[in-house]
Structure 1
């Protein structure tokens, strides 16, 4: 039997937890000294010893654990995980039945009822990501529950938590079939080459599926497109597939060159017909201005935080300046796709960055449309931080 521990919650945090806030903050715990190993169930009690909820203790950058149930007598066992997984699968029925897409998020942490755990689906293969030692301690129950909830070709895992004070991004095989690499998956009719056994990144950010499709179907035709912080070139592939006259992909990582070529190739697009540049994006912006290059569409999807040899980028502090650089090389009536996955600010503040950038550049703009997380990245109203993705299509006048 797994040990169960009672912890006291400080009064200022009780109301939010009772109303469904799922994250157990470090500062909310009045008696943290009782927490030793991250393999325990915790009962949250108020200052009058009344039950609030139960969850697990697991340290990650967001907090000290997650609420799993508001029923004091509910067992957190294999049956609990099976119930959560089956509900999550039913919610994504349309994606499972799709003939156009077979890569999506099957289970999205607290949005599906278990914070600190995500499961991505890739053509029958499953990638389980553990965000703390605490949730990883349930590995046996989770894997067994997954096998009993759906058809599984193979399972890989990614561990993203501290061990001995060091943050790790470890990925490895768990069980089942081993695919031929790359594993080719489909998204909205396009193909992606992915690797579940090669480091922290698999080759595709699934949360941008709707944005990529929108670019291909409604914006790309005949356009000269610049894709910055391009990773493996997903936006570029969809732009090219949508009839873009030219795509340029820019990313600082050396491997982005071979990875982007591969993504074009699996979509029967000759990589040599596209421009792929390994360079600091900010350095490229200066080059583009110097050479008087202009683009009909600029995609900005930077990491929340990034560091190069000469520059540190923080979305919350530097996005306005990044937008100014993009505005300078966007044609009149051109479109900027501004995106951020930074959870520390909301859409309203993000739009203030946009307004400030255009104001400082002396240009007018119109917001054409907005996107947040797709359906499979399920979120809950009580945890706003979980709805992190903000994408705005902006027309420059």
Structure 2
């Protein structure tokens, strides 16, 4: 049975949690009071010894745990997880009934009431991602609850933590009938190949679904498109299907070549008519400027943090420089799709990066569209800071 301890929450954090904020900050508690084992249930009390809620102790980059319930009589058991899963599935009925999209998020952590846990659906297969040792300690209960709630071909998992609470990536088959990969899924009628058993990534970032649709429907036609930090080329596929004259996909990872060829091939796109480059994006910008290359549509979706032999990159400090390099190779009236999933700053700060880059290059611009997380990536309504995705479509005027 899971251990439960009382833990006093300091002001002003107790008021914040009482209002429904789900994250337990490390600054909210006396570190000496913390239990030794992650996964311990926490009976959260204010400085007057009044009940606030029940949470669990699990270290991840955002804090030391999450609130699970504010009901003093609610037990954290299999029935609790079943209730949460059923509600999440009911909220996504429209996705389950859409034959044109067969990959989406079923359960989005704190947005669905259990921080540190996400569940994605891939055409009959489920992938559970765990973000701390604390939530992973509930795995047997969670898998029993999930198996009783959904019809599945198989369930896979990805552990995105290590024993010290740091970020790591690992995946494994859990139950059901193992799939044959690549598994083909639909997204707004487009086809994508995913691998649930092949390392950290699946092959597609589901949170960018609406952005790919916008590119295909409104921005790609008759363009020369550049996809930087292209991963498996999902944006390039959307552009090609939207009528782009040519796409160029650039990523430093060697495996990106085969993965991008795979994504083009499952959509019956001639990959040899596209340009796929395995090289450092920062080097490519210099190459493109030397050769006076110009693009009508550029996707700029870097990782929040990256390190190469020559440099270290962080979106929090380096995005304006990256945008300036992009502006230099974007044609007049061209579109830059600026994106980041860095949760450490909001849309207002991100727009200040955009403004800085255009001012520094003495270039006029217009913001034409903005996107955050799609509806299946639910976030607590009162706390938009958990909506980490920021995407801005920018037109370069001159």
Output the TM-score relative to the length of structure 2: 0.98
- Closer, same or farther in 2 for the Cα pair 1:31/1:360, shift >3 Å? closer
Q: Distance in 1 between matches of 2:393 and 2:384?
A: 22
Shift in Å at residue 31 of structure 1? 5.6
Query: What residue is the counterpart of 1:115 in the other structure?
Result: 115
Alignment of 1:1-397 (within 5 A): 1-30=1-30, 32-163=32-163, 167-397=167-397
Q: Deviations over 1:213-267 (max 9, x none)?
A: 1100111111000000000000000000111000000001110001000000000
Q: Deviations over 1:258-312 (max 9, x none)?
A: 1000000000001101000011111000000000000000100001111111121
Q: Distance in 2 between matches of 1:100 and 1:219?
A: 21
Indicate if the aligned counterparts of 2:7 and 2:33 stay in contact, CA closer than 8 A.
Answer: no
Q: Deviations over 1:344-365 (max 9, x none)?
A: 1111111111111111111111
- Closer, same or farther in 2 for the Cα pair 1:69/1:232, shift >3 Å? same
Shift in Å at residue 384 of structure 1? 3.3
- Alignment length (residue pairs): 397
Q: Deviations over 1:137-196 (max 9, x none)?
A: 111111111111121110000111122576431100000011111111111111111111
Q: Distance in 1 between matches of 2:205 and 2:315?
A: 18
Q: Distance in 2 between matches of 1:318 and 1:168?
A: 24
Shift in Å at residue 32 of structure 1? 3.6
Q: Distance in 1 between matches of 2:42 and 2:183?
A: 40
Output the TM-score relative to the length of structure 1: 0.98
Q: Distance in 2 between matches of 1:75 and 1:166?
A: 29
Aligned CA RMSD, in angstroms, stands at: 1.1
Q: Distance in 1 between matches of 2:168 and 2:288?
A: 37
Q: Distance in 2 between matches of 1:165 and 1:135?
A: 11
Indicate if the aligned counterparts of 2:61 and 2:166 stay in contact, CA closer than 8 A.
Answer: no
Structure 1 counterpart SS, 2:337: strand
- Closer, same or farther in 2 for the Cα pair 1:230/1:34, shift >3 Å? closer
Q: Distance in 1 between matches of 2:87 and 2:307?
A: 40
Shift in Å at residue 90 of structure 1? 0.9
Structure 1 stretches of 4+ moved >2 Å: 30-34, 164-168, 381-385
Structure 1 counterpart SS, 2:23: coil
- Closer, same or farther in 2 for the Cα pair 1:174/1:286, shift >3 Å? same
Indicate if the aligned counterparts of 1:22 and 1:383 stay in contact, CA closer than 8 A.
Answer: no
- Closer, same or farther in 2 for the Cα pair 1:130/1:305, shift >3 Å? same
